[in-house]
Amino acid sequence: LGRHKDDERPTHFDYNGVRFGQDTLNIFAGLCAVDVQEHVEAMMKALRDNGQVCTRMGAYKPRTSPYAFQGHGKACLPWVFELAGKYGIKVIAMEITHESHLDEIRAALHQAGNPTGVMLQIGTRNTQNFELLKIVGRQQELPVLFKRGFGITLDESLNAAEYLASEGNRKVVFGLRGMKTNMGDPHRNFVDFAHVPVVKRLTRMPVCIDPSHSVGARSRAPDGLLDIFHVVAQGVVAGANMILVDFHPAPKKALVDGPQALLMEELPHFIEDVQLARETY
Ligand code: PEP
């Protein structure tokens, strides 16, 4: 995945009719965690109505507390995939935390007649789970959104991403999602979108930003301005190629990370803002 001097290998890949490259920009707005069909359908309908073909939907959720909702797992896959097909969604970003999840996703996609595609997400807690990375790397059918580790160096994260490529899967997008610091405020994580151009110069991977997990709240400031909109603009101006962002039709009812979810009615403004920022890149 690394870029070498005189490297002429491509900096893009195509999957299920969608191009992922260092010169493209795809928005993956969606639910952090799949909850009920009504919410998933409302999200997918809003995406279709706003010309979007990608989304995020978490079925397997790695949670800090073992008592927190862990995701519906494979039980929700058939109806999530069916709804995706109904609303013309071509790629769903979905985290996996165990090799069995990969088998479950592939089986459910196959059983449903492949109505949509899946981009496997490796979350920040598994950045250095090398055995999982080798397994995900060995299959070359599904692309991977690989999140940087929140407490390791960039170099360590880039090396970890190579585990995917060294096993054969080069359809990898590198995700920035903020870094842990001991400073706390103002955001949940230290927003690291200044690293977008760095990763693009060092590697051939398209780079994703995750404003939701970086900022951790719709708004921190008393003026109610949306911090997430601001950091997205910064990331897009820096050259981001993908945006993974949490939305929810009823954030108070969300089972995971409701406070950071943007509202459905903000989706058209969000897309417009991204387009404006893109024009200045
Ligand atoms: C997520 O995107 O749902 C997630 C848990 O992200 P991260 O691994 O970056 O915390």
Q: Each residue of 225-278: pLDDT tens digit?
A: 678 999 999 999 999 999 999 999 999 999 998 989 999 999 999 999 999 999
What CATH number is associated with residue 51?
Answer: 3.20.20.70
Cα of 124 from ligand 1 centre, angstroms: 6
pLDDT band at 77 (very low <50, low <70, confident <90, very high): very high
Q: How many CB atoms lie within 10 A of CB 168?
A: 11
pLDDT band at 203 (very low <50, low <70, confident <90, very high): very high
Q: From CA 95, how far away is CA 56, in angstroms rounded?
A: 9
Cα of 230 from ligand 1 centre, angstroms: 20
- CB within 8 Å of 35: residues ≥ 6 apart: 72, 253, 254, 255
* Best mutation site among 31, 121, 187, 214 for ligand 1 pocket (most ligand atoms within 8 Å of CB): 121
Nearest CA to ligand 1 atom 4: 123
Which backbone phi and psi does 21 adopt, to 5 degrees?
-150, 170
User: Is residue 6 domain-resident?
Assistant: no
Summarised one tens digit per residue, pLDDT across range 109-166 is 999 999 999 999 999 999 999 999 999 999 999 999 999 999 999 999 999 999 999 9
pLDDT number for residue 224: 64
ipTM: 0.97
Q: From CA 45, how far away is CA 18, in angstroms rounded?
A: 19
User: Is residue 7 domain-resident?
Assistant: no
Q: Is the pLDDT of residue 221 over 80?
A: no
pLDDT number for residue 186: 82
Q: Is the pLDDT of residue 90 over 80?
A: yes
* Best mutation site among 31, 56, 95, 148 for ligand 1 pocket (most ligand atoms within 8 Å of CB): 95
User: Is residue 180 domain-resident?
Assistant: yes
Q: Is the omega angle on the peptide bond into residue 186 within 30 degrees of 0, that is, cis?
A: yes
User: Which residue ranges have their beta carbon within 6 Å of ligand 1?
Assistant: 32, 58, 95, 123-125, 147, 177, 210, 213
Mean pLDDT of the chain: 95
User: Is residue 1 domain-resident?
Assistant: no
Q: From CA 27, how far away is CA 245, in angstroms rounded?
A: 8
Segment 41-54 mean pLDDT? 98
The minimum-distance atom of ligand 1 relative to the CA of 123 is 8
pLDDT band at 39 (very low <50, low <70, confident <90, very high): very high
Q: Is the pLDDT of residue 6 over 80?
A: no
Cα of 128 from ligand 1 centre, angstroms: 14
Domain of 200 in residue numbering reads as 12-62+69-279
Low-confidence winner among 105-114, 196-205, 208-217, 223-232 (lowest mean pLDDT): 223-232
Q: Is the pLDDT of residue 91 over 90?
A: yes
* Best mutation site among 126, 177, 260 for ligand 1 pocket (most ligand atoms within 8 Å of CB): 177
Per the structure, how many domains does the chain have?
1
pLDDT number for residue 276: 95
pLDDT number for residue 184: 66
pLDDT number for residue 5: 73
pLDDT band at 31 (very low <50, low <70, confident <90, very high): very high
User: Is residue 5 domain-resident?
Assistant: no
Task: Please report which helix (H) or strand (E) contains residue 21, including its range.
Answer: strand 18-21
Q: From CA 63, how far away is CA 265, in angstroms rounded?
A: 28
Nearest CA to ligand 1 atom 6: 123
